[in-house]
Amino acid sequence: MPETLIKVDLADSPYNNDMIHNRWHPDIPMVTWVKRGADFIIETYDWTGGFIKDNDSADDVRDIDLSIVHFLSGPIGVEGAEPGDLLVVDLLDVGAKPDSLWGFNGFFSKKNGGGFLTDHFPLAQKSIWDISGLYTHSRHVPGVKFAGLIHPGLIGCLPDQKLLDIWNKREIDFIATEPERVPPLANPPFGPTAHAGRAKDAVKAKVAAEGARTVPPREHGGNCDIKDLSRGSKIYFPVYVKGGGLSMGDLHFSQGDGEITFCGAIEMAGWLHIRVDVIKDGMAKYGVKNPMFKPSPITPNYNNYLIFEGISVDEWGKQHYLDVHVAYRQACLNAIEYMTKFGYSRAQAYAILGTAPVQGHISGVVDIPNACATLWLPTGIFEFDIMPNADGPVQHIKGGVDIPMSPDK
Protein backbone atom coordinates (compact mmCIF):
# COMPACT_ATOMS: atom_id res chain seq x y z
CA MET A 1 0.00 0.00 0.00
CA PRO A 2 1.33 3.44 -0.85
CA GLU A 3 1.65 5.63 2.19
CA THR A 4 -0.99 8.31 2.88
CA LEU A 5 1.13 11.41 3.47
CA ILE A 6 -1.68 13.90 4.07
CA LYS A 7 -4.88 12.94 5.87
CA VAL A 8 -7.97 15.07 6.32
CA ASP A 9 -10.74 14.68 8.89
CA LEU A 10 -13.96 15.88 7.28
CA ALA A 11 -15.51 16.32 10.74
CA ASP A 12 -12.86 18.91 11.67
CA SER A 13 -12.15 22.38 10.29
CA PRO A 14 -9.36 22.58 7.70
CA TYR A 15 -8.00 25.52 9.72
CA ASN A 16 -7.06 22.94 12.39
CA ASN A 17 -5.03 20.91 9.88
CA ASP A 18 -1.51 22.27 9.33
CA MET A 19 -1.06 20.22 6.14
CA ILE A 20 -3.71 22.40 4.47
CA HIS A 21 -3.34 25.94 3.12
CA ASN A 22 -5.52 28.34 1.11
CA ARG A 23 -3.06 30.85 -0.37
CA TRP A 24 -0.08 30.64 -2.76
CA HIS A 25 3.16 31.90 -1.24
CA PRO A 26 6.80 30.70 -1.44
CA ASP A 27 7.21 30.81 2.36
CA ILE A 28 4.50 28.25 3.15
CA PRO A 29 6.59 25.42 4.68
CA MET A 30 6.67 22.01 3.03
CA VAL A 31 4.60 19.53 5.03
CA THR A 32 6.58 16.54 3.81
CA TRP A 33 9.51 15.67 1.52
CA VAL A 34 9.51 12.77 -0.92
CA LYS A 35 12.14 11.24 -3.19
CA ARG A 36 12.01 11.35 -6.99
CA GLY A 37 9.99 8.38 -8.21
CA ALA A 38 7.98 8.08 -4.99
CA ASP A 39 4.27 7.31 -5.12
CA PHE A 40 1.90 8.15 -2.30
CA ILE A 41 -1.66 9.14 -1.40
CA ILE A 42 -2.92 12.63 -0.56
CA GLU A 43 -6.36 13.23 0.92
CA THR A 44 -8.19 16.50 0.27
CA TYR A 45 -11.16 18.44 1.54
CA ASP A 46 -13.70 19.67 -0.96
CA TRP A 47 -12.71 23.18 -2.08
CA THR A 48 -14.87 24.87 0.60
CA GLY A 49 -13.44 22.78 3.43
CA GLY A 50 -16.80 21.21 4.20
CA PHE A 51 -18.84 24.41 4.31
CA ILE A 52 -21.37 23.15 1.74
CA LYS A 53 -23.61 20.42 3.15
CA ASP A 54 -25.61 17.51 1.74
CA ASN A 55 -29.11 18.99 2.22
CA ASP A 56 -31.91 20.64 0.24
CA SER A 57 -31.15 24.29 0.96
CA ALA A 58 -28.90 26.68 -0.97
CA ASP A 59 -28.40 28.93 2.06
CA ASP A 60 -24.79 27.69 2.42
CA VAL A 61 -24.02 28.53 -1.22
CA ARG A 62 -25.54 31.98 -0.68
CA ASP A 63 -23.77 32.64 2.62
CA ILE A 64 -20.28 31.24 2.05
CA ASP A 65 -17.35 33.60 2.61
CA LEU A 66 -15.42 33.01 -0.61
CA SER A 67 -12.20 34.37 0.88
CA ILE A 68 -11.76 31.00 2.66
CA VAL A 69 -11.19 29.00 -0.53
CA HIS A 70 -9.55 26.85 -1.84
CA PHE A 71 -8.38 24.45 0.88
CA LEU A 72 -5.37 22.66 -0.61
CA SER A 73 -3.35 19.71 0.62
CA GLY A 74 0.40 20.38 0.66
CA PRO A 75 2.85 21.75 -0.18
CA ILE A 76 4.92 18.65 -0.86
CA GLY A 77 8.65 18.97 -1.44
CA VAL A 78 10.35 16.71 -3.98
CA GLU A 79 14.03 16.09 -3.29
CA GLY A 80 16.22 17.38 -6.09
CA ALA A 81 13.61 19.66 -7.68
CA GLU A 82 15.09 23.13 -8.32
CA PRO A 83 13.81 26.29 -9.96
CA GLY A 84 13.75 25.83 -13.74
CA ASP A 85 13.02 22.10 -13.55
CA LEU A 86 9.79 20.43 -14.55
CA LEU A 87 7.95 18.45 -11.90
CA VAL A 88 6.38 15.38 -13.50
CA VAL A 89 3.21 14.23 -11.74
CA ASP A 90 1.48 10.98 -12.63
CA LEU A 91 -2.14 11.00 -11.45
CA LEU A 92 -2.22 7.24 -10.85
CA ASP A 93 -5.75 7.35 -9.46
CA VAL A 94 -8.25 9.79 -7.97
CA GLY A 95 -11.41 9.04 -6.03
CA ALA A 96 -14.06 10.22 -3.62
CA LYS A 97 -13.48 9.77 0.11
CA PRO A 98 -15.26 6.55 1.07
CA ASP A 99 -16.91 8.32 4.03
CA SER A 100 -18.28 11.06 1.75
CA LEU A 101 -19.85 9.58 -1.39
CA TRP A 102 -21.60 12.71 -2.59
CA GLY A 103 -20.81 16.02 -4.22
CA PHE A 104 -22.42 19.39 -4.84
CA ASN A 105 -22.96 21.79 -7.71
CA GLY A 106 -24.17 25.31 -7.15
CA PHE A 107 -24.68 28.71 -8.65
CA PHE A 108 -23.41 31.61 -6.58
CA SER A 109 -25.53 34.69 -6.07
CA LYS A 110 -24.48 37.46 -8.41
CA LYS A 111 -23.66 39.43 -5.24
CA ASN A 112 -21.33 36.72 -3.95
CA GLY A 113 -19.20 35.22 -6.69
CA GLY A 114 -21.59 35.01 -9.63
CA GLY A 115 -20.81 32.65 -12.50
CA PHE A 116 -20.67 32.38 -16.27
CA LEU A 117 -24.44 32.94 -16.67
CA THR A 118 -24.93 35.08 -13.56
CA ASP A 119 -27.15 37.60 -15.37
CA HIS A 120 -29.55 34.75 -16.11
CA PHE A 121 -29.18 32.94 -12.76
CA PRO A 122 -28.53 35.72 -10.22
CA LEU A 123 -29.55 33.77 -7.08
CA ALA A 124 -27.89 30.99 -5.10
CA GLN A 125 -28.94 27.46 -6.04
CA LYS A 126 -27.55 24.04 -5.19
CA SER A 127 -27.93 20.47 -6.41
CA ILE A 128 -26.59 17.39 -4.64
CA TRP A 129 -25.10 14.52 -6.62
CA ASP A 130 -24.80 11.02 -5.17
CA ILE A 131 -21.82 8.89 -6.15
CA SER A 132 -22.42 5.19 -6.84
CA GLY A 133 -19.11 3.67 -7.91
CA LEU A 134 -18.42 5.03 -11.39
CA TYR A 135 -21.76 6.80 -11.67
CA THR A 136 -23.53 9.86 -10.37
CA HIS A 137 -27.12 11.07 -10.31
CA SER A 138 -28.98 13.85 -8.51
CA ARG A 139 -32.27 13.96 -6.62
CA HIS A 140 -32.56 17.55 -7.89
CA VAL A 141 -31.95 16.82 -11.58
CA PRO A 142 -33.93 13.77 -12.74
CA GLY A 143 -33.44 11.98 -16.05
CA VAL A 144 -29.64 12.05 -16.21
CA LYS A 145 -27.00 9.64 -14.98
CA PHE A 146 -23.38 9.55 -16.10
CA ALA A 147 -19.95 8.15 -15.37
CA GLY A 148 -17.43 10.39 -13.63
CA LEU A 149 -14.37 11.88 -15.28
CA ILE A 150 -12.73 12.39 -11.89
CA HIS A 151 -10.02 15.04 -11.63
CA PRO A 152 -8.41 17.64 -9.39
CA GLY A 153 -9.70 21.11 -10.35
CA LEU A 154 -6.63 22.62 -8.74
CA ILE A 155 -3.01 21.43 -8.68
CA GLY A 156 0.28 23.26 -9.01
CA CYS A 157 3.60 24.28 -7.47
CA LEU A 158 4.41 27.25 -5.24
CA PRO A 159 5.46 30.48 -6.95
CA ASP A 160 8.74 32.17 -6.05
CA GLN A 161 8.63 35.69 -4.62
CA LYS A 162 9.28 37.28 -8.01
CA LEU A 163 6.38 35.50 -9.68
CA LEU A 164 4.09 36.16 -6.69
CA ASP A 165 4.89 39.87 -6.88
CA ILE A 166 4.04 39.87 -10.60
CA TRP A 167 0.69 38.18 -9.89
CA ASN A 168 -0.24 40.60 -7.14
CA LYS A 169 0.74 43.69 -9.12
CA ARG A 170 -1.07 42.77 -12.31
CA GLU A 171 -4.26 41.67 -10.53
CA ILE A 172 -4.40 44.64 -8.14
CA ASP A 173 -3.78 47.01 -11.09
CA PHE A 174 -6.57 45.24 -12.97
CA ILE A 175 -9.04 45.57 -10.07
CA ALA A 176 -8.25 49.31 -9.97
CA THR A 177 -9.64 49.72 -13.51
CA GLU A 178 -13.18 49.02 -12.21
CA PRO A 179 -13.01 48.75 -8.40
CA GLU A 180 -16.77 48.75 -7.77
CA ARG A 181 -17.60 45.93 -10.18
CA VAL A 182 -19.96 43.14 -8.96
CA PRO A 183 -18.70 40.42 -9.15
CA PRO A 184 -15.17 41.88 -8.86
CA LEU A 185 -12.59 41.68 -11.65
CA ALA A 186 -10.21 39.69 -9.43
CA ASN A 187 -9.55 38.94 -5.76
CA PRO A 188 -6.63 40.64 -4.01
CA PRO A 189 -4.76 39.12 -1.02
CA PHE A 190 -6.91 38.99 2.11
CA GLY A 191 -5.35 38.28 5.46
CA PRO A 192 -8.17 37.52 7.92
CA THR A 193 -9.14 34.15 6.40
CA ALA A 194 -5.70 33.10 5.17
CA HIS A 195 -4.53 29.62 6.18
CA ALA A 196 -0.73 29.52 5.90
CA GLY A 197 -0.30 25.83 6.72
CA ARG A 198 2.67 25.36 9.06
CA ALA A 199 3.91 28.94 8.80
CA LYS A 200 4.33 30.65 12.18
CA ASP A 201 4.58 34.21 13.49
CA ALA A 202 6.19 36.69 11.05
CA VAL A 203 6.14 34.20 8.16
CA LYS A 204 2.47 33.47 8.79
CA ALA A 205 1.72 37.20 8.77
CA LYS A 206 3.65 37.65 5.52
CA VAL A 207 1.74 34.79 3.84
CA ALA A 208 -1.55 36.30 5.02
CA ALA A 209 -0.66 39.78 3.81
CA GLU A 210 0.65 38.93 0.35
CA GLY A 211 -0.36 35.32 -0.40
CA ALA A 212 -2.10 35.04 -3.76
CA ARG A 213 -5.68 33.90 -3.75
CA THR A 214 -6.28 30.51 -5.28
CA VAL A 215 -9.21 31.36 -7.56
CA PRO A 216 -7.55 31.95 -10.95
CA PRO A 217 -5.30 29.63 -12.89
CA ARG A 218 -1.88 31.18 -13.38
CA GLU A 219 1.51 30.31 -14.90
CA HIS A 220 2.02 27.53 -12.35
CA GLY A 221 -1.28 25.81 -13.20
CA GLY A 222 -3.38 26.13 -10.08
CA ASN A 223 -7.15 26.32 -10.48
CA CYS A 224 -7.30 25.31 -14.14
CA ASP A 225 -10.47 23.20 -13.81
CA ILE A 226 -9.59 20.96 -16.75
CA LYS A 227 -11.90 17.97 -16.81
CA ASP A 228 -9.44 15.92 -18.87
CA LEU A 229 -6.76 16.13 -16.18
CA SER A 230 -8.17 12.86 -14.98
CA ARG A 231 -7.03 9.50 -13.62
CA GLY A 232 -3.99 8.34 -15.57
CA SER A 233 -2.89 11.81 -16.71
CA LYS A 234 0.74 12.87 -16.61
CA ILE A 235 1.36 16.56 -15.90
CA TYR A 236 4.52 18.65 -16.32
CA PHE A 237 4.67 21.58 -13.91
CA PRO A 238 7.13 24.49 -13.90
CA VAL A 239 9.20 24.56 -10.68
CA TYR A 240 9.97 27.93 -9.07
CA VAL A 241 11.14 27.05 -5.55
CA LYS A 242 13.48 24.40 -4.13
CA GLY A 243 11.44 21.19 -3.83
CA GLY A 244 8.64 22.48 -6.05
CA GLY A 245 6.00 22.68 -3.33
CA LEU A 246 3.21 20.71 -4.98
CA SER A 247 -0.31 21.31 -3.65
CA MET A 248 -3.71 20.09 -4.81
CA GLY A 249 -7.39 20.02 -4.03
CA ASP A 250 -10.80 21.01 -5.42
CA LEU A 251 -11.56 17.47 -6.59
CA HIS A 252 -14.38 17.05 -9.08
CA PHE A 253 -16.31 13.85 -9.71
CA SER A 254 -17.32 15.26 -13.08
CA GLN A 255 -17.38 18.63 -14.85
CA GLY A 256 -18.41 20.15 -18.15
CA ASP A 257 -15.87 22.21 -20.11
CA GLY A 258 -15.76 25.72 -18.71
CA GLU A 259 -17.03 24.73 -15.23
CA ILE A 260 -19.65 27.32 -16.10
CA THR A 261 -21.66 27.04 -12.89
CA PHE A 262 -18.58 28.23 -10.89
CA CYS A 263 -19.85 26.89 -7.53
CA GLY A 264 -18.28 24.08 -9.03
CA ALA A 265 -18.44 21.00 -11.01
CA ILE A 266 -19.52 18.06 -8.87
CA GLU A 267 -17.38 19.14 -5.92
CA MET A 268 -16.20 16.50 -3.52
CA ALA A 269 -13.72 15.52 -0.85
CA GLY A 270 -11.37 12.76 -1.94
CA TRP A 271 -7.91 11.35 -2.42
CA LEU A 272 -5.22 11.22 -5.09
CA HIS A 273 -2.61 8.52 -5.65
CA ILE A 274 0.29 10.24 -7.36
CA ARG A 275 3.87 9.65 -8.39
CA VAL A 276 6.40 12.44 -8.79
CA ASP A 277 9.60 12.84 -10.77
CA VAL A 278 11.74 15.68 -12.09
CA ILE A 279 13.09 16.73 -15.50
CA LYS A 280 16.17 18.79 -14.71
CA ASP A 281 16.19 22.23 -16.38
CA GLY A 282 12.99 21.17 -18.17
CA MET A 283 11.49 24.66 -18.40
CA ALA A 284 14.28 25.88 -20.70
CA LYS A 285 14.77 22.53 -22.45
CA TYR A 286 11.13 22.41 -23.56
CA GLY A 287 10.28 26.13 -23.58
CA VAL A 288 7.65 25.72 -20.85
CA LYS A 289 5.81 28.70 -19.33
CA ASN A 290 2.53 27.02 -18.32
CA PRO A 291 1.98 23.34 -17.42
CA MET A 292 1.47 20.69 -20.11
CA PHE A 293 -0.18 17.33 -19.67
CA LYS A 294 -0.97 14.02 -21.29
CA PRO A 295 -4.64 13.07 -20.78
CA SER A 296 -6.04 9.94 -19.23
CA PRO A 297 -6.25 6.74 -21.28
CA ILE A 298 -9.67 6.16 -19.66
CA THR A 299 -12.58 8.46 -20.37
CA PRO A 300 -16.35 7.84 -20.17
CA ASN A 301 -17.47 6.51 -23.53
CA TYR A 302 -19.99 9.12 -24.72
CA ASN A 303 -19.53 9.37 -28.45
CA ASN A 304 -22.84 10.84 -29.57
CA TYR A 305 -23.42 14.52 -29.06
CA LEU A 306 -25.96 17.17 -29.93
CA ILE A 307 -23.76 20.18 -30.65
CA PHE A 308 -24.95 23.74 -30.11
CA GLU A 309 -23.36 26.65 -31.92
CA GLY A 310 -22.90 30.14 -30.55
CA ILE A 311 -21.54 33.29 -32.16
CA SER A 312 -20.17 36.51 -30.70
CA VAL A 313 -23.47 38.37 -30.83
CA ASP A 314 -24.73 38.60 -27.26
CA GLU A 315 -28.21 37.88 -25.91
CA TRP A 316 -29.11 41.58 -26.19
CA GLY A 317 -28.20 41.64 -29.89
CA LYS A 318 -24.89 43.47 -29.50
CA GLN A 319 -22.08 42.63 -31.92
CA HIS A 320 -18.71 41.68 -30.35
CA TYR A 321 -15.41 41.24 -32.17
CA LEU A 322 -14.33 37.58 -32.30
CA ASP A 323 -15.22 37.22 -28.62
CA VAL A 324 -15.07 33.54 -27.69
CA HIS A 325 -16.46 34.20 -24.21
CA VAL A 326 -19.64 35.69 -25.68
CA ALA A 327 -19.87 32.93 -28.30
CA TYR A 328 -19.57 30.12 -25.73
CA ARG A 329 -22.19 31.80 -23.57
CA GLN A 330 -24.60 31.81 -26.52
CA ALA A 331 -23.92 28.11 -27.18
CA CYS A 332 -24.67 27.35 -23.51
CA LEU A 333 -27.86 29.43 -23.52
CA ASN A 334 -28.98 27.67 -26.71
CA ALA A 335 -28.46 24.27 -25.05
CA ILE A 336 -30.38 25.38 -21.95
CA GLU A 337 -33.31 26.62 -24.04
CA TYR A 338 -33.37 23.31 -25.90
CA MET A 339 -33.39 21.20 -22.72
CA THR A 340 -36.34 23.13 -21.30
CA LYS A 341 -38.43 21.70 -24.16
CA PHE A 342 -38.08 18.28 -22.51
CA GLY A 343 -39.39 19.56 -19.17
CA TYR A 344 -36.21 20.68 -17.40
CA SER A 345 -36.19 23.96 -15.52
CA ARG A 346 -33.57 26.39 -16.77
CA ALA A 347 -31.62 25.82 -13.55
CA GLN A 348 -31.61 22.05 -14.04
CA ALA A 349 -30.36 22.49 -17.59
CA TYR A 350 -27.61 24.86 -16.38
CA ALA A 351 -26.58 22.34 -13.73
CA ILE A 352 -26.31 19.61 -16.38
CA LEU A 353 -23.93 21.80 -18.39
CA GLY A 354 -21.80 22.40 -15.30
CA THR A 355 -21.60 18.78 -14.19
CA ALA A 356 -21.88 16.35 -17.11
CA PRO A 357 -18.95 15.54 -19.45
CA VAL A 358 -19.97 18.35 -21.81
CA GLN A 359 -17.32 19.47 -24.28
CA GLY A 360 -16.63 23.06 -25.26
CA HIS A 361 -14.75 23.87 -28.44
CA ILE A 362 -13.43 27.03 -30.02
CA SER A 363 -14.49 26.45 -33.59
CA GLY A 364 -13.53 29.69 -35.38
CA VAL A 365 -11.70 32.83 -34.27
CA VAL A 366 -10.89 34.45 -37.63
CA ASP A 367 -14.17 35.06 -39.46
CA ILE A 368 -14.74 38.72 -38.59
CA PRO A 369 -16.71 39.83 -36.74
CA ASN A 370 -18.04 36.56 -35.30
CA ALA A 371 -16.18 33.94 -33.32
CA CYS A 372 -17.92 30.57 -33.25
CA ALA A 373 -17.91 28.35 -30.18
CA THR A 374 -19.65 25.02 -29.81
CA LEU A 375 -21.06 23.17 -26.83
CA TRP A 376 -21.19 19.40 -27.17
CA LEU A 377 -23.99 17.84 -25.13
CA PRO A 378 -23.51 14.07 -24.74
CA THR A 379 -26.86 12.48 -25.58
CA GLY A 380 -26.01 9.24 -23.75
CA ILE A 381 -26.30 10.81 -20.30
CA PHE A 382 -30.07 11.18 -20.68
CA GLU A 383 -32.47 8.40 -19.78
CA PHE A 384 -34.60 9.35 -22.81
CA ASP A 385 -34.06 10.36 -26.44
CA ILE A 386 -33.10 14.02 -26.52
CA MET A 387 -32.54 14.28 -30.30
CA PRO A 388 -34.89 16.40 -32.42
CA ASN A 389 -37.44 14.62 -34.61
CA ALA A 390 -40.50 15.42 -36.69
CA ASP A 391 -42.94 14.76 -33.83
CA GLY A 392 -41.38 17.40 -31.58
CA PRO A 393 -40.02 17.11 -28.04
CA VAL A 394 -41.72 15.05 -25.33
CA GLN A 395 -41.93 16.42 -21.79
CA HIS A 396 -40.03 13.60 -20.11
CA ILE A 397 -39.28 15.62 -16.98
CA LYS A 398 -42.52 16.26 -15.13
CA GLY A 399 -42.39 19.24 -12.74
CA GLY A 400 -42.31 18.98 -8.98
CA VAL A 401 -38.56 18.52 -8.56
CA ASP A 402 -36.20 21.45 -8.98
CA ILE A 403 -32.92 22.80 -7.70
CA PRO A 404 -33.28 24.55 -4.33
CA MET A 405 -32.85 28.33 -4.46
CA SER A 406 -32.10 30.82 -1.67
CA PRO A 407 -33.05 34.47 -2.26
CA ASP A 408 -30.48 37.10 -1.35
CA LYS A 409 -30.79 38.37 2.23
Q: In the complex, which residues of this chain contact Zn ion (CB under 5 A)?
A: 47, 153, 250, 264
Shortest distance (Å) from residue 249 CB to Zn ion: 9
Shortest distance (Å) from residue 369 CB to Zn ion: 34
Residue 48 contacts residue 71 (beta carbons within 8 Å): yes
How many residues in total does the chain contain? 409
CA neighbor of 176 nearest in space, from 168, 111, 214, 110:
168
369: cis peptide before it, omega within 30°?
yes
Q: Which is nearer to Zn ion, 114 or 153 (CB)?
A: 153
Q: State how beta strands 72-78 and 32-34 pair.
A: parallel
Q: Which is nearer to Zn ion, 149 or 371 (CB)?
A: 149
Cite the DSSP H helix spans in 187-253. Answer: 201-210
Shortest distance (Å) from residue 106 CB to Zn ion: 10
Shortest distance (Å) from residue 259 CB to Zn ion: 7
**Residues in contact with 45: Cβ distance below 8 Å, sequence separation at least 6, in sequence order:** 8, 10, 14, 20, 71, 73, 249, 269
Q: Which is nearer to Zn ion, 74 or 264 (CB)?
A: 264
Which residue type does 269 have? A
Name the 3-class secondary structure at 85.
coil
Shortest distance (Å) from residue 13 CB to Zn ion: 19
Q: Which is nearer to Zn ion, 153 or 189 (CB)?
A: 153
Residues forming beta bridges with residue 40, ordered by sequence position: 274
Q: Which is nearer to Zn ion, 43 or 250 (CB)?
A: 250
Helical (H) or strand (E) element with 59: helix 59-63
Shortest distance (Å) from residue 50 CB to Zn ion: 14
Q: Which is nearer to Zn ion, 153 or 258 (CB)?
A: 153
Geometric angle at alpha carbon 39, from 38 and 43, rounded to 5°:
130
Q: Tell me the residue nearest to Zn ion as measured from the CB.
A: 153
